[in-house]
Amino acid sequence: AGSAGDADGSDAELVWAIEGANLSAGHMDPQTSQLDVSGMVQRQVLDSLVFQEADGSFSPWLAKSWEVSEDGRTYTFELRDDVTFSDGNAFDAAAVKANFDRIVDPATKSAQAASMLGGELYAGTEATGEHTVEVSFTQPYAPFLQAASTAQLGFWSPKVLEKSADQLDAGGPDVTVGTGPFVLSEYTADQEIVYTRNDDYAWGPDGAKAPKIKTLRVELLPEASVRAGVLSSGEADVATQLPPNVVADLGDDVTVTAKEYPGLPYSLFLNEKHGVFADQKVRQAFSVAIDIDAAVDEIFFGEFPRAWSILGPTTPGYDKSLEGSWPFDADKANALLDEAGWTERGADGIRMKDGQRLSARWIAWTPISDDRTALANAIQSDLKDVGFEIVREKLEPAAYNEQYGPKTYDITDWDFSGVDADLLRSHLGTDGFQNASQVSDPAVDDLLERGLSASDTDERAQIYTELQQWNAEHVAIVPLYVSSLITGSAKGVDGLEYDLYGRPLFYDASVSR
């Protein structure tokens, strides 16, 4: 696909195939969407204050330098003065304030970005000079720098925020306007996003200038086999979100990069305020009734490790001691369920108690990949063996939200990437926006609070270890496996880099045939 124009390839086009099925459902704005894909694609347009290097350290980006106050509550950024949005507006302290204020504004309906910006803790942003900005929090907020390095806290042109903020979720050429290395020049929902080089770009991370390729064409191909197919046939240069089962078939010309997601592994969330999971014994039984090792190993061809904790092994604060601590044990599961009083059996072998079936309803959000479907089948089958019925409903986003809102399910599932263990706050905190298990435990809230303000690395690690152990006993979340973002790039693609989440970065990418 990449067509070499000039000798330096400055007219080159790089085609990048991604899954992207849900982008059109109002997920084009990382400031409001909680989907990974949203940040992944809009990284081309959105720059951040700081850049997080592969070793986890931070380097300047839109901010030349920064300072954290003694009490850990105020971050002062010294901004570059040569940055402009692609619509010509200057990037300055006011733009930072406009964006951050928008994110936390309840009318914006932002969940993830708002939470990364501290949520309730966010006290405000002050432009103390034209290019100096102070972000303050009501209490010390350690994860902020990491948050500030993500696309979720990237910057839209203030003009857009003023005039057409409501169109940002839908996205479009004159709406999706940032300071990034590319400009979104065309967008056809469910089809493709075309990014064109921002020729003026000179403020990239680590001194990156305008990209080498002229056009980055993002093809939205929900079918994994099709993504693999276009990569093999040369129609696409880079394909991400490849499932392990196609990797072997890709051929030698394709370079495969797999990067384990940091953050919360793919897990099941057991709703403890609803139905049978109110009983901790039932939750524990559930977690040991599944032969996770076998299922994950077979279904993902040994490519992905099974998860033992609610943090992935590459996440700072990971508690390695949990490994092997809750192995598959059907007998134990049966014993626990007996103890919990589910001793009768229905005609179909499902356990009963007081005329009620031991049944849990799992809502899953579409689209669902084949391997996750296979995993779910295995889970259902294993649980049926101990007399536990799982009814799984596959729901389209709108229908899913109808159930998710009032929390009328027993189980739901997802993984959540994040480099900072603070992401647990959104999943286990009483007010967490992803608290699908409906955990409400003052001790947990206290731990999360302390993790937030602790600036000492060891102290934070200790806090998050406690949280992981709390879950291991309490079983609000059943982690299943740690997935990787698998990206294949065709021969001729050079200079592709990856961020900490394994997403390709195109600052230096080039393509030649």
Partner 1 sequence: MIARRVGLGCAVAFLAVVALAALFPDLLATHDPLRTDVRSALEAPGTAHRFGTDQSGRDVFSRVVHGAGRSVGIGLLATALAVVAGLVLGSLSGVSHRVVDAAAMRVTDILLAFPEFLIALIVVAVLGPGTVNVAIAVTIAAVPVYIRLARTQTRTLHIAEHVEAARILGVGPVRTFTRHVMPGVLGSLSVLATIGIGSSILAAAGLSFLGLGPSEPAPEWGLMLSGGRNVLGRAWWISVFPGLAITLTVISATVIGRALRARAEGRRG
Partner 2 sequence: MAASAALVLWGAATLAFLAFRIIPGDAVSVMLGPQAKVSEAVKAGVRAELGLDRPPLEQYVSYIGGVLRGDLGTSYQLRMPVTEVIGRQLGPTLQLTALALLIAVLIALAVALLARRGVARAVMIAGELIVLSSPVFWIGIVLLAVFAFGLGWFPVAGTRSAATIVLPALTLALPVAALISQVLRDGIDQAERQPFAETVRSRGARSSRLVLRHSLRHGAAGALTLAAYLIGSLLGGAVLVETVFARPGLGRVTLTAIVDRDLPVVAGVIMLSALVFVIVNVVVELLHPILDPRLQARPAVFEAPAIEERR
Nearer to partner 1, 229 or 429 (CB): 229
Nearer to partner 1, 13 or 291 (CB): 291
Structure-token pair, residue 512: 């030649």
φ, ψ of residue 299 to 5 degrees: the values are -70, -35
At its nearest, how many Å lie between partner 1 and the CB of residue 199?
Answer: 40
- Residue 350 contacts residue 359 (beta carbons within 8 Å): yes
> Mask 74-113, x = binds partner 2 (CB under 8 A)?
--------------------------------xx-x-x--
Q: How many CB atoms lie within 10 A of CB 387?
A: 24
End-to-end CA distance of the chain: 8
Map the footprint of partner 2 across residues 169-228, applying CB under 8 A: 169-170, 172, 188-192, 219, 221-223, 225-226
Candidates 361, 392, 425, 427; binder of partner 1 (CB under 8 A) is: 392
Nearer to partner 1, 153 or 299 (CB): 299
**∠ CA 149-115-61 to the nearest 5 degrees?**
15
Does 396 bind partner 2 (CB under 8 A)? Our answer is: yes
Q: Which of 89, 303, 64, 249 has the alpha carbon at shortest distance from 178?
A: 89
How many of the chain's residues bind partner 2 (CB under 8 A)?
43
Q: Which of 173, 171, 215 has the alpha carbon at shortest distance from 197?
A: 215
294 binds, among partner 2, partner 1, none (CB under 5 to 8 A by kind): partner 1
Radius of gyration of the chain (CA): 23
Does 374 bind partner 2 (CB under 8 A)? Our answer is: no
At its nearest, how many Å lie between partner 1 and the CB of residue 217?
Answer: 24
Q: Which helix (H) or strand (E) holds 378?
A: helix 370-385
174 binds, among partner 2, partner 1, none (CB under 5 to 8 A by kind): none
Beta bridge partners of 486: 258
Does 233 bind partner 1 (CB under 8 A)? Our answer is: no
- Residue 52 contacts residue 499 (beta carbons within 8 Å): yes
Candidates 370, 431, 446, 494; binder of partner 1 (CB under 8 A) is: 370
Which spans in 29-92 are helix H? Answer: 36-42
φ, ψ of residue 314 to 5 degrees: the values are -90, 5
> What is d(CA 442, CA 307) in angstroms, rounded to the nearest whole number?
26
Binding segment for partner 1 among 110-118, 276-284, 302-310, 365-373 (CB under 8 A)? 365-373
Q: Which of 159, 397, 378 has the alpha carbon at shortest distance from 268?
A: 378
At its nearest, how many Å lie between partner 1 and the CB of residue 377?
Answer: 4
Alpha-carbon separation of residue 143 from 32, 127, 423, 426, 513 (angstroms): 19, 21, 9, 13, 43
Candidates 366, 401, 408, 457; binder of partner 1 (CB under 8 A) is: 366
Beta bridge partners of 306: 481
At its nearest, how many Å lie between partner 1 and the CB of residue 246?
Answer: 8
111 binds, among partner 2, partner 1, none (CB under 5 to 8 A by kind): partner 2
Candidates 172, 346, 367, 397; binder of partner 1 (CB under 8 A) is: 367
Does 233 bind partner 2 (CB under 8 A)? Our answer is: yes
Does 19 bind partner 2 (CB under 8 A)? Our answer is: no
Q: Which helix (H) or strand (E) holds 485?
A: strand 484-489
Binding segment for partner 1 among 152-160, 242-250, 272-280, 474-482 (CB under 8 A)? 242-250
Beta bridge partners of 194: 186, 217
Size (the chain), residues? 513
At its nearest, how many Å lie between partner 2 and the CB of residue 228?
Answer: 8
Q: How many CB atoms lie within 10 A of CB 223?
A: 14
**∠ CA 423-168-265 to the nearest 5 degrees?**
25
Does 323 bind partner 1 (CB under 8 A)? Our answer is: no
279 binds, among partner 2, partner 1, none (CB under 5 to 8 A by kind): none
Q: Which of 12, 482, 499, 431 has the alpha carbon at shortest distance from 263?
A: 482
401 binds, among partner 1, partner 2, none (CB under 5 to 8 A by kind): partner 2
Does 408 bind partner 1 (CB under 8 A)? Our answer is: no
- Residue 270 contacts residue 478 (beta carbons within 8 Å): yes
Q: Which residues bind partner 2 (CB under 8 A)?
A: 1, 24-26, 32, 34, 106-107, 109, 111, 166-167, 169-170, 172, 188-192, 219, 221-223, 225-226, 229-230, 232-233, 235-236, 366, 396-402, 404-405, 433
Q: Which residues bind partner 1 (CB under 8 A)?
A: 223-225, 243, 245-246, 249, 291, 294-295, 297-299, 366-367, 370-371, 373-378, 380-382, 384, 392-394, 396, 399
